[in-house]
Amino acid sequence: MRPHARRIVAPKAVQAAAVRSSRSNDDVPFALRVSAAWAWRLGVVLIVAAGLVWILRNFSLLIIPLMIAALLAGLLSPVTTWLRRNKVPGGLAVAVTIVTFLGVIVAALTLVGRQLALGFRDLWGETLSGVAQVQDWLASGPLQITNSQMDNLVQEATNALQSNSGNILSGALSVGTGAGHFAAGVLLTLFALVFFLLDGRRIWRFTAGLLPRRARPGGYGAGIHGWDSMVNYVRVQLLVAFIDAVGIGAGAAIIGVPLALPLSVLVFLGSFVPLVGAFVTGFVAVLLALVANGWVNALIMLGIVLLVQQLESHILQPLIMGRAVALHPLAVILAVTGGTLAAGIPGALFSVPLLAILNTVVRYIAARGWEHDPALARDQVFAALGGATPRTDEPEDDSKDDADEEKQP
């Protein structure tokens, strides 16, 4: 005989509560319930974002050097990995990579500085004649400013400086403090860069090990793929900076502006500093054209600089950068704008890589990527926790682990 299925009857109190709950839900429109559910979740996201911005502002001396070191590690990690594959010890590989990188930067800045100094020395006579032309234009032009009026303006400016000497002194002291913070930040960046390149995998494995046991595989794998997105960002930024340098340098050479080659190097280096770098390098290019060839040539150079920078910010950055870091071009523009408004130059510099990392991490966790991640499967500790099956058809090979260094902080 088949046993009769037992019928589970809920208590009357439970049934009554369920009826009351359903009636209360019926009283609230469905659209309002969905809107409320979205509203509190978006509120939590905004609160967390505001907290991160507050931390970035108040602990910038600590956080910004670490983030710059992470970007540099993403740029230099392929070099370190290549040296390790060629049997160079880890510490020596890191030292060679960093020393070579610093040597290239110093050599480029020295080349630019010397060439610009020599060029301006050769153009000093033309500079004086240009100043004289400006004075003549002020006197004979629509402003009608005479030499005596110019002397009065200079005297008033001198008196203003003398009367505000206290404010100027305090400003100089603040600049000195800022210079000290800058030097400390540079040292911290180099120190962090050494350990990111040398022990990046161990640092991230230790960090992921602090998570709850069930969350460790997802956190570990998400960090690996987020790091990969940041490496792609750095490489694309190199390409964009190179295109900027070629565009402005070629334009300067075509219209006859002197020192086109060092100007290209200066534009390339300045492209990595948002807002300020573009302004300074563009100003130097226009000033060279003005001193060497006059107002018309300077205006043409200004048009070239503006054209290249607009193409870079509205076409190259959104399209190339967005495709490389899996972000829509509109998201890239909004990220740079929002980062600039929230945190100034650091916000503009780190907004796109942070958004790329966040996008990759969220997608990885939402897709439960750790369950079928080959990189995670090679790590026995995290694979055993996350359910990813370690591959047994391949022997253990340290070169694969070295290759993964390129994708791990």
Q: What is the pLDDT of residues 350-372, one digit of tens each?
A: 888 888 888 888 888 888 888 88
Contact partners, residue 302, CB within 8 Å, separation at least 6: 282, 286, 289
pLDDT at 153: 66
Instruction: List helix spans (H) across 59-141.
Output: 60-85, 90-122, 124-140
Which runs of E-coded beta strand occur in 288-405?
none
What's the rounded Cα separation, in Å, for the pair 12 and 6? 18
Q: Measured over all CA atoms, what is the biggest interatomic distance in the chain, rounded to whole angstroms?
A: 121
Q: Which of 196, 237, 178, 186 is nearest to 356 (CA)?
A: 237
SS3 4: coil
What's the rounded Cα separation, in Å, for the pair 370 and 324? 22
**Cβ neighbours, 10 Å, residue 319:** 12
Q: What is the pLDDT of residues 190-206, one digit of tens each?
A: 999 999 998 888 888 88
pLDDT at 191: 92
pLDDT at 11: 58
Residues of the chain with pLDDT under 70: 1-26, 119-179, 273-276, 317-318, 321-325, 329, 377-409
Contact partners, residue 83, CB within 8 Å, separation at least 6: 92, 93, 96, 97
pLDDT at 99: 93
Residue in the structure block whose two tokens are 């602090």:
210
Question: What percent helix, strand, coil does the chain show, rounded to 5?
Answer: 85, 0, 15
Is the separation of the CB atoms in 49 and 341 below 8 Å?
no
Angstrom CA distances, 81 to 74, 98, 162, 408, stand at 11, 13, 58, 11
What's the rounded Cα separation, in Å, for the pair 52 and 261? 41
What's the rounded Cα separation, in Å, for the pair 7 and 277? 75
Is the separation of the CB atoms in 376 and 386 below 8 Å?
yes
Q: What is the pTM of this model?
A: 0.65
SS3 111: helix
Instruction: Report DSSP state, residue 393.
Output: S
pLDDT at 312: 76
pLDDT at 389: 46
